[in-house]
Structure 1
Amino acid sequence: MNGPLVVVGDSLLDVDVDGAATRLAPDAPVPVVDVESERSRPGGAALAAVLAARTGQRVVLLTALGRGEASNRLRRALAGRVELAELPLDGDIPVKTRIRVDERPLLRIDRGGGRPGPANGAARRILGSAGAVLVSDYGRGVAEVLTPLLTPATRRCPVVWDPHPRGGPPVPGARLVTPNAAEARSTAAALDARSAAGDGLADHTRRAALLARHWRAAAVAVTLGPRGALLSRGTDSPILLPAPHEAGGDPCGAGDCFAASAAVALARGAITEEAVHCGVVAAADFVASGGAGGLALPPPAGRPAAPLPVRAAELAAAVRARGGTVVATGGCFDLLHAGHVGLLESAARLGDCLVVCLNSDDSVRRLKGPGRPLTPVADRASVLAGLGCVDAVAVFEEDTPHAVLRELRPDVWVKGGDYTVEALPEAEVLAEWGGHALVLPYLSGRSTTALAERAAAAGSGRSGPASAGAGA
């Protein structure tokens, strides 16, 4: 893809007010919330744009903003993180305030909103240069205003449409439409009243196929929360892409995360099935790390980026916030073998989450020499993330994981092999925040080097040496 991912839609300002409720008001049987903190963050299409930008994707947000305080706060939050292209707005953007107790919503207050002005020349140029488009429709007019420009976009690049009950239908030819189960049910019921019944996979299959045909979309992915997503191309043979794990966190923003991740994947050349899988995994991890309420914005352009994916940092922070134990380990993990798996499973049992700090390809090359790694970092990270005992993977470029450890601040750092705790170079770093280092034994006779030597020997018909080590 040469052009940027263009996110089109209605932007909001979301505000979370967190506090404690320990008593009822004297004048009415309602809880009294003692406010402990308040923070604002991008919402609606702006949230989808920020989530897409976290992947390193170039993102342009095409939205309507006014001249009020809420619009100005959103501009400041987005500055340096996504490129902003504005339509005029008659009024100010909506502000949605959630009152939360124990991280659970108690009440939501909505205020503000206006109508967007007409499409301008800048909008036409931006959509004409897009490598992919995500329409994040919140039913407040931006998608409607830009529909004449979005229809021809489907012939040039992938268009993902995240619909809203108050919005219009997706433009014909969209590569992927992403309603949630409730949205699919209500829209399908308007077309065929019998489609509203049932919550089984067969019911979701019928609704997804009906909507794909009605919208003339290449595919529809109905998101099903903990069950993942059901992908239909308008036939009775769908694909269910299950969630990698059950996430019990705040689901606010999960749909935006799903759509943004799928759009980024399509922008980078993935097929639709791969894109939906990326969306399912990203949404599950997003909910597990606290959802939109726990979102950490990526650093503005020009500032040093954190040396690990934001998701890993968010997960560690969320686990610490609820009093849990963060465990981390690290290595090259070039050819994953039984020694690695045994170490990771043992490490995971020491706490509430396990983050693997993974050497980048350049880092492995400097440590192991020419010819290594045998497996590129994207594949190594994917295999590690697929293990049930691994909660997140953080890739680092340096020769040591010191910088990434200072970001994660794990309670326990685990290494395998013949080290002593005193000899671990990370022990001094962990002492900065009171963390502890532990050494766990590898299974003997397992090592990447030994596997590589045996494979090379088998290919040449020779007997290879067996190594007693178990290095990464």
Structure 2
Amino acid sequence: MRIVVVGDVMLDVDLSGEATRLSPDAPVPVVDVYGIRSRAGGAGLVARMLAGEGWPVTLVTVFGDDDAGRQLRDHLEGVRVVSGPSGHPTPVKTRVRAGSQAVVRVDQGCGKPPVPGISAGMLRAVEEAGAIIVADYGRGMAANPELRHLLARRTAEVPVIWDPHPSGPDPVPGVAVVTPNLAEATKAAAAFASSAPGDGAPGGPAAVVGRILLERWQSAAVLVTKGAEGAVLLQRDSVSPLDVPAPRVEAGDPCGAGDRLAAGLAVHLLAGSALPEAAELAVNDAADFLGAGGVAALPDRGSGHGLPREGGGYTPASPGAPAAQPEDGPTPLHRSAEPLLLARAVRGNGGTVVATGGCFDLLHAGHVRSLAAARKLGDCLIVCLNSDSSVRRLKGPERPIISQQDRAELLLAMECVDAVMVFDEDTPEAALDRLRPDLWVKGGDYKGSRLPEAELVESWGGRCVTVPYHPARSTTGLADALAKVG
């Protein structure tokens, strides 16, 4: 039977790096970013989790008509989506991490939106559900009157799991289980409690606020989650709270645990488990999810075999920052890898990192032969690619002929290229200083002269080498020929 996820979506972006110094301008850490990755967040993350496990899932949501909204659709490849317009910019939440420690989160487009409309097709999708998860992220979906009326009716027919948000409306009466965390539950119950919850009550503060919300929300159950301590289940037909412990796991980032819990509840209830058993299984599912790496370990979807759209997983470097690539694949050494992580992994395995650079505007046979020859010199080949603005400064306003995103995608389609690192300067020195390859390779037209990057490359023990040059093959020649026939 199909699980329907109803709720708000957003684009989540992770900037991962290292912080080894403070800024000279202010006492704040400087994060050297080596990885940029985006994914569907909110209800989109719940749907992705379920689809990734093979469950038939439909996502009912609304999208902003902007680039972030289009990226979100890409990340939801493989999920059946029934949607309408949000009438508001797509929310983007960017987390900056130094190692496993979050440094700051930057939110864009996260102002209070209007309650979106809902189409007949969206309502039909909810009618067809065998189980429903309401993933409320305070963006208005759960407040739509038509949708709420339908959800209230469906509570008598199928299990409805409601993951609430402090900025969202109360759950509709009759849902199978509401899943606030302890902070959310405490805040929601504060207006109805005559005194602060005490530790001495059975089940502790979680049970006290859970019981208040059970009456307030008129749900069949409330499962108050407590992070690493597990959860407490309050049921309308049971006087005593049920403590649900969580297994101990090493987890640095709790992001996505609540989404995984809600997904697990839907799956186990749909499979026929009673709520106490489903709650125990779902808490273990969430712990396993975090122990396996959490959202960082989720495979990328929707970016094809090349680069994601600019602003998603791919961002032009400045200066020398990596273009983050999809992370599907069995090992860190798969093609289209993030360049700095790839270089680090190859070196860690005792391998040789090879890099080359250029504009690669209109790939021709000379490029292909030189790149293939360079790849044979080591264990991976990373191409340092001039950005569009860099090419314009070097070659004039009519160039490049092909955009940096398309040039990078063409390069990554070649078997000999393992990663692409876009740089915005006139020379690749800044990119090279971050990448630090063992070999820096250029075409044989440099033979007899010292490469301009030689001193820098040799400063960390690297070497500059040349590969055979193929005369009579050049981008300028191809461009001139195209101009004559164009």
Secondary structure of 1:106's partner?
strand
Query: CA offsets per residue over residues 199-229 of structure 1, 9 Å max, x none?
Result: 9733222221221122111111111111211
- Asked if the contact 1:160–1:259 (Cα under 8 Å) also holds between the matched residues in 2, the reply is yes
- Asked if the contact 2:75–2:301 (Cα under 8 Å) also holds between the matched residues in 1, the reply is no
Secondary structure of 2:15's partner?
strand
Paired amino acid for 1:104: Q
Displacement after TM superposition at 1:87 (Å): 2.1
- Asked if the contact 1:87–1:116 (Cα under 8 Å) also holds between the matched residues in 2, the reply is no
Residues 1:239 and 1:298: Cα distance change in structure 2 (over 3 Å): farther
Paired amino acid for 1:122: G
Matching of residues 64-213 of structure 1 within 5 Å: 64-79=62-77, 81-113=78-110, 114-145=113-144, 146-198=147-199, 201-213=203-215
Paired amino acid for 1:60: T
2:218 is the counterpart of 1:216: yes
Residues 1:249 and 1:25: Cα distance change in structure 2 (over 3 Å): closer
Partners of 1:98 and 1:299 in 2: how far apart?
Answer: 21
Where structure 1 has 5 or more consecutive residues not aligned to the other structure, the ranges are 302-312, 324-472
Displacement after TM superposition at 1:264 (Å): 1.6
- Percent identical among aligned pairs is 43
TM-score (norm 1): 0.61
- Asked if the contact 2:261–2:285 (Cα under 8 Å) also holds between the matched residues in 1, the reply is yes
| Match in the other structure for 1:448 | none
Paired amino acid for 1:278: L
| Match in the other structure for 2:298 | 295
TM-score (norm 2): 0.59
2:283 is the counterpart of 1:244: no
Partners of 2:286 and 2:39 in 1: how far apart?
Answer: 18
| Match in the other structure for 1:362 | none
Displacement after TM superposition at 1:112 (Å): 1.2
Query: CA offsets per residue over residues 425-448 of structure 1, 9 Å max, x none?
Result: xxxxxxxxxxxxxxxxxxxxxxxx
Residues 1:290 and 1:193: Cα distance change in structure 2 (over 3 Å): farther
Query: CA offsets per residue over residues 258-312 of structure 1, 9 Å max, x none?
Result: 11111121122222112212210111011112222332247999xxxxxxxxxxx
Q: Point out the more displaced range, 59-68 or 247-256.
A: 247-256
- Asked if the contact 2:74–2:301 (Cα under 8 Å) also holds between the matched residues in 1, the reply is no
Residues 1:299 and 1:73: Cα distance change in structure 2 (over 3 Å): closer
Displacement after TM superposition at 1:196 (Å): 4.3
- Asked if the contact 1:249–1:289 (Cα under 8 Å) also holds between the matched residues in 2, the reply is no
Matching of residues 39-438 of structure 1 within 5 Å: 39-79=37-77, 81-113=78-110, 114-145=113-144, 146-198=147-199, 201-234=203-236, 235-297=238-300
Secondary structure of 2:190's partner?
helix
Question: For this pair of structures, how many residues does the alignment match?
Answer: 310
Paired amino acid for 1:130: A
Secondary structure of 1:39's partner?
strand
Partners of 1:231 and 1:133 in 2: how far apart?
Answer: 19
- Asked if the contact 1:226–1:247 (Cα under 8 Å) also holds between the matched residues in 2, the reply is no
Paired amino acid for 1:142: M
Partners of 1:30 and 1:92 in 2: how far apart?
Answer: 30
- Asked if the contact 1:12–1:93 (Cα under 8 Å) also holds between the matched residues in 2, the reply is yes
- Asked if the contact 1:186–1:196 (Cα under 8 Å) also holds between the matched residues in 2, the reply is no
Q: Point out the more displaced range, 236-245 or 251-260.
A: 236-245
Paired amino acid for 1:111: Q
| Match in the other structure for 2:470 | none
Partners of 1:267 and 1:16 in 2: how far apart?
Answer: 33
Displacement after TM superposition at 1:65 (Å): 0.3
Name which one, 1 or 2, has greater alpha-carbon Rg.
Answer: 2
- Asked if the contact 1:15–1:40 (Cα under 8 Å) also holds between the matched residues in 2, the reply is yes
Query: CA offsets per residue over residues 8-38 of structure 1, 9 Å max, x none?
Result: 0110110000111111111111111111110
Where structure 2 has 5 or more consecutive residues not aligned to the other structure, the ranges are 305-329, 335-340, 346-486
Secondary structure of 2:18's partner?
strand
Partners of 1:151 and 1:105 in 2: how far apart?
Answer: 39
| Match in the other structure for 1:27 | 25
Residues 1:9 and 1:50: Cα distance change in structure 2 (over 3 Å): same
Secondary structure of 2:288's partner?
helix
Partners of 1:193 and 1:20 in 2: how far apart?
Answer: 47
- Asked if the contact 2:8–2:43 (Cα under 8 Å) also holds between the matched residues in 1, the reply is yes
Partners of 1:298 and 1:249 in 2: how far apart?
Answer: 23
| Match in the other structure for 1:379 | none
Residues 1:9 and 1:199: Cα distance change in structure 2 (over 3 Å): farther
Secondary structure of 2:86's partner?
strand
Paired amino acid for 2:142: A
- Asked if the contact 1:247–1:285 (Cα under 8 Å) also holds between the matched residues in 2, the reply is no
Residues 1:147 and 1:173: Cα distance change in structure 2 (over 3 Å): same
Residues 1:298 and 1:28: Cα distance change in structure 2 (over 3 Å): closer
Residues 1:294 and 1:104: Cα distance change in structure 2 (over 3 Å): farther
Query: CA offsets per residue over residues 360-382 of structure 1, 9 Å max, x none?
Result: xxxxxxxxxxxxxxxxxxxxxxx
- Asked if the contact 1:252–1:293 (Cα under 8 Å) also holds between the matched residues in 2, the reply is no
Displacement after TM superposition at 1:154 (Å): 0.6
- Asked if the contact 2:19–2:30 (Cα under 8 Å) also holds between the matched residues in 1, the reply is yes
RMSD (Å), alpha carbons: 3.0
| Match in the other structure for 1:405 | none
- Asked if the contact 1:205–1:236 (Cα under 8 Å) also holds between the matched residues in 2, the reply is no
| Match in the other structure for 1:336 | none
